[in-house]
């Protein structure tokens, strides 16, 4: 594809490559929204109001900085920890909570695991729980875009542990051979559940694995939105110019548990956690914004209280949304329901009506 025919850039890509104070404030606001929602979701799960949740604390700058560099047309293939990415893409909190609850507002009709949201209208593919499968999906979609000459990229998100998976190898190998317009975004959060980074691979970095596939691999400080944003802008330009993929390793730390089913105190030290808490990406960006005068302490306090209020209203509305209709169980299998399925549906409807089965 000739460079002249490329779309100008993602909406937030500036000619100078630098993020303006306005951009940074919006990025910070999104990171605050993500942190607020993350903390609340952990509590909601403990209260039995949602079934399962996978936290992102510590990874906000990596996700929001990355998402800021993407165009809305780019297709996102997430893992399961990408709440910050979902928010920077503009997915409403109410819609996400509908999925966590599995109510009638859930676009997936309560059929997916909680926290495994996906939205066709946001080019955001449903979360992949089997580690690594999203990498192959993203490469396949990139090959399709390449053939159709669609001026977009695809991007997959995965963790350090996933670089040990079969799909990582298959995906990166294909992408390198076919120079696919795709970006591999690895959030190295130092742990794959209870397995530390050094037990995953003897490679000095995860990014260097790209060498074997014949394309660039870069390491960035994932707590620094500038570094992440720059790396993604560069990788995206490269992909669109027909120069092939890039592997980005964003070095971060998972401050919370792996998921609501995990207790990290059983396998990692308080000292390690304390060290990384000192590198909290929100504190880092706040410090920068205060120093530049783009934010004040009262402005920051206001921003947090706005985030809490916005979330409370989304939650109230999601919890007031009717449950998913059990009869939707029979939808979406065939374009036209077969006779047998129709019969089963009527029988099921009767059982529901008579109260034999409770929704």
Q: Please report, as ranges, the residues that interact with Mg ion according to CB under 5 A.
A: 159-161, 189, 192
CA separation, residue 317 to residues 96, 236, 320 (Å)? 12, 37, 5
Give the range of 109-117, 128-136, 278-286, 289-297 binding ligand TPP by CB under 6 A.
128-136
Nearer to ligand TPP, 12 or 258 (CB): 258
Element holding 184 (H helix, E strand) = strand 182-188
Beta pairing class for 191-192 and 195-196: antiparallel
Are 66 and 19 in contact by the 8 Å Cβ rule? The answer is no
Nearest alpha-carbon partner for 233 in 218, 212, 255, 223: 218
Give the range of 10-18, 129-137, 278-286, 295-303 binding ligand TPP by CB under 6 A.
129-137
With CB under 6 A as the contact rule, the residue among 28, 119, 158, 185 that binds ligand TPP is 158
Active site residue 267: yes
| Whole-angstrom distance, CA of residue 157 vs CA of residue 207 | 14
Q: How far is the CB of 189 from Mg ion (least distance, A)?
A: 4
Token reading at 248:
């980005």
Examine residue 159 and tell whether it contacts ligand TPP (CB under 6 A).
yes
Residues numbered 77-96 forming contacts with ligand TPP, rule: CB under 6 A: 81
Q: What is the DSSP string of 321-354?
A: SPBPPGGGGGSSSSSS--HHHHHHHHHHHHHHHT
Nearer to Mg ion, 160 or 280 (CB): 160
With CB under 6 A as the contact rule, the residue among 41, 131, 153, 180 that binds ligand TPP is 131
What Rg, from alpha-carbon coordinates, does the chain have?
21
CA separation, residue 338 to residues 111, 134, 328, 335, 348 (Å)? 21, 32, 15, 9, 15
Q: Which of 120, 267, 268, 287 is catalytic?
A: 267
Active site residue 226: no
With CB under 6 A as the contact rule, the residue among 101, 192, 314, 318 that binds ligand TPP is 192
Active site residue 254: yes
Q: Which of 81, 89, 236, 258 is catalytic?
A: 258
The number of residues that bind ligand TPP (CB under 6 A) is: 15
Interface contacts to ligand TPP, rule CB under 6 A: 81, 129-131, 158-162, 189, 191-193, 254, 258
Active site residues: 254, 258, 267
């Amino acid at each position: 594809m000739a460079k002249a025919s490329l779309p100008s850039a993602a909406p937030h890509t500036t000619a100078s490559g630098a993020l303006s104070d306005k951009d940074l404030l919006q990025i910070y606001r999104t990171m605050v929204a993500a942190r607020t929602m993350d903390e609340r979701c952990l509590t909601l799960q403990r209260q039995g109001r949602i079934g399962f949740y996978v936290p992102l604390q510590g990874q906000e700058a990596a996700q929001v900085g990355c998402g800021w560099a993407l165009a809305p047309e780019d297709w996102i293939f997430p893992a399961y920890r990408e709440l910050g990415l979902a928010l920077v893409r503009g997915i409403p909190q109410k819609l996400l909570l509908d999925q966590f609850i599995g109510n009638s507002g859930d676009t997936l009709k309560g059929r997916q695991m909680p926290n495994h949201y996906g939205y066709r209208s946001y080019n955001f593919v449903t979360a992949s729980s089997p580690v690594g499968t999203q990498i192959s999906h993203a490469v396949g979609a990139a090959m399709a875009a390449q053939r159709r000459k669609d001026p977009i990229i695809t991007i997959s998100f995965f963790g350090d542990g996933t670089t040990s998976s079969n799909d990582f190898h298959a995906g990166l190998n294909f992408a390198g051979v076919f120079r696919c317009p795709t970006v591999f975004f690895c959030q190295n959060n130092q742990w794959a559940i209870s397995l530390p980074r050094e037990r995953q691979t003897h490679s000095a970095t995860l990014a260097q694995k790209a060498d074997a596939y014949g394309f660039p691999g870069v390491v960035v400080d994932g707590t620094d939105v500038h570094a992440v944003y720059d790396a993604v802008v560069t990788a995206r330009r490269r992909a669109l110019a027909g120069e092939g993929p890039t592997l980005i390793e964003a070095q971060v730390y998972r401050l919370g548990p792996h998921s609501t089913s995990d207790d990290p105190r059983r396998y990692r030290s308080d000292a390690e956690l304390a060290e990384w808490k000192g590198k909290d990406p929100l504190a880092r960006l706040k410090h920068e914004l205060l120093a530049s005068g783009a934010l004040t302490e009262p402005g920051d306090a206001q921003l947090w209280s706005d985030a809490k209020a916005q979330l409370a209203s989304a939650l109230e509305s999601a919890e007031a949304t009717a449950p998913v209709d059990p009869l939707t169980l029979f939808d979406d299998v065939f374009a036209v329901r077969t006779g047998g399925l129709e019969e089963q549906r009527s029988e099921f409807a009767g059982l529901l009506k008579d109260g034999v089965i409770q929704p």
